[in-house]
Amino acid sequence: MTAAAPAIPHTFNSMLCLRGQGVVKGYAIGRAAVMGAAALEVVHYRIQPEAVEEECARLKAALAQARDELQHMVANLPDDAPREMGALLTVHSMLLDDRMLSEQACNLIIERHYNAEWALTTQGQVLGEQFAAMEDEYLRERGTDIRQVIERVLRVLSGTPVALPQFDSGYSGELIVVARDISPADMLRLRGARFGAFLTDLGGPTSHTAIVARSMNVPAVVGMGNIRTLVRDGDLLIVDGMSGAVLVNPPDFVLEEYRRRQSAYADDRAELGRLKYAEAVTLDGVQVKLEANIELPEEAEQALAAGADGIGLFRSEFLFMGRRDLPGEEEQYEAYATVVKAMQGRPVTIRTLDIGADKTLDGDATVATNPALGLRAIRYCLAHPEIFQTQLRALLRASVHGKLRILVPMIAHLHEVRAVRQAIAEACQHLESRDISFDRNVEVGAMVEIPAIAIAIEPFVEQLDFLSIGTNDLIQYTLAIDRGDNDVADLYDPMHPAVLRLISHTINAAQRYGKSVAVCGEMAGDAQVTRMLLGLGLREFSMHPQQLLDVKKEVRQSHTNALRVKVASALNRAERINLDELAG
């Protein structure tokens, strides 16, 4: 449950042991296929003043060619390409038109006489640092998009083709792709090859490599630091997507052990597959609702295929990111309606825009003293009523297609709840004036992710229709730990008694008032803590679709009455709770 430790290699006899962050479960055994380094180490030189115009034209031509290549890929996506691929490639294409990248790079050519490659990488570094400083993990990962599109442009400028792995036609086993990072475009080019896993130096749980690997159900370990420099083409690798371990050139007895684990895991997945249509009911007959978290409208079908009872969290900020303009009411309505229709009557909970103060929507960066505590999420929306009203109208319009719920992030004050209610009332009046239909009984809930609302939860419960506990932020704010900071990441502990007491207090309050409450953070999808959450009284979980069956299995093997007694006793301790006590 804690962040992965940095990749510090060690050896066992001749075997090299590496570690990263496993983002897709499973085992893979195969030969390494190392992707060539991107051409980021470019030549830096100053051009003559009279060559400025020509150099700017060279850069713009390369940007246009890279953009055209991506748009061509989008227009010619194979039928069996992952659903997320088109959207990811489109985001990269749009970044190449962003003036923060193209115009600022040209300004460096004009003002400092940098050559095109130097100007592009310099501006890319500026943008990358801005993303790296962001508090939100998902937004922080988007800095990867900037780097990947710059690498594509640099390849165009240098005339260097994409350095994909070289496959040995005589090898019949699985290939394991080892790369510094894998862009969506590279992932598409790798499609069809017989690879068994992805390993990257960079990336996290929300990186493109992780997103696409999950959709393909291929084991992946990211954030390995420098594996690409430690592994050679043809090295025999064992990949453990559960623990994030990678073993290089293992001895026979280790290989045999992991072949046994791989076989057992395959049997386990086949067994889990039979649970798809089984009810999520505990041994003592308690019904549990298992919903899915999604980031793209297209993922609703994936959630439905996994057997989700609904969408517990749709992060609407995806619609706003990677573009210079704002999505209009019609565009947002189409996206929300797509998800609601796809879920065929099951509930769909859509979170309103959750954007931080460290980056405005049009790409103009601002400086916040502490972005995590600044003008973000509902604070941002209430400060920009024109943006909020557009989204609320789109959400209300989509509500005619099924059961849609509005979820508001970062609520800490009751006056914010009242302001949201007032904003929704204004959106309703606007739609009525246009004679547009909508569900007048749309439920409104709040994310419980700030300790203040969890501690003083009762009046919030009274004024809201439902609650959703965002454990990622709740843990971070409670323990004052940035899990993205390697220096303190080991202190990020979901099992800390203070965190669990806040969750327990929230669940108990919601149940007393007859309101529904879910957990939609990473804890909900971690089958290791399912029994703990059941013991705390939780009956609604929302997670990535791939995690649904693992959690359902735990639910069906649990007895809530016994767990409540064990958890209640454990909550009184000062030390972190040992999950082993809840087993059996």
What residues act catalytically? Answer: 208, 520
List, in order, residues 6 or more apart from 105 with CB less than 8 Å away: 59, 116, 119, 120, 122, 123
| 280 within 8 A of 527, measured Cβ to Cβ | no
Distance CA 430, CA 472 (A): 36
The Cα angle at residue 548 between residues 544 and 550, in degrees rounded to 5:
120
| 265 within 8 A of 27, measured Cβ to Cβ | yes
Q: Both tokens of residue 395? A: 């959400």
By C-alpha distance, which of 90, 87, 101 is closest to 131?
Answer: 101
Q: Both tokens of residue 168? A: 């040995």
Q: Both tokens of residue 118? A: 């130097």
| 529 within 8 A of 478, measured Cβ to Cβ | no
List C-alpha distances in Å: 525 to 56, 254, 550.
49, 30, 8
Distance, C-alpha 256 to centroid of its chain: 34
Residue showing tokens 């189409």: 334
What burial class does residue 107 get, using C-beta atoms within 10 Å of its C-beta: 0-12 exposed, 13-18 middle, 19+ buried?
middle
- Indicate the residue type of 156: V
Q: Both tokens of residue 268? A: 């386990």
Q: Report helix angle 116-132 to 99-112, nearest 10.
A: 130
Query: CA-based diameter of the chain, in Å?
Result: 81
**Between β-strands 404-408 and 348-351, what pairing exists: parallel, antiparallel or unpaired?**
parallel
List C-alpha distances in Å: 12 to 15, 125, 230, 235.
5, 38, 15, 16
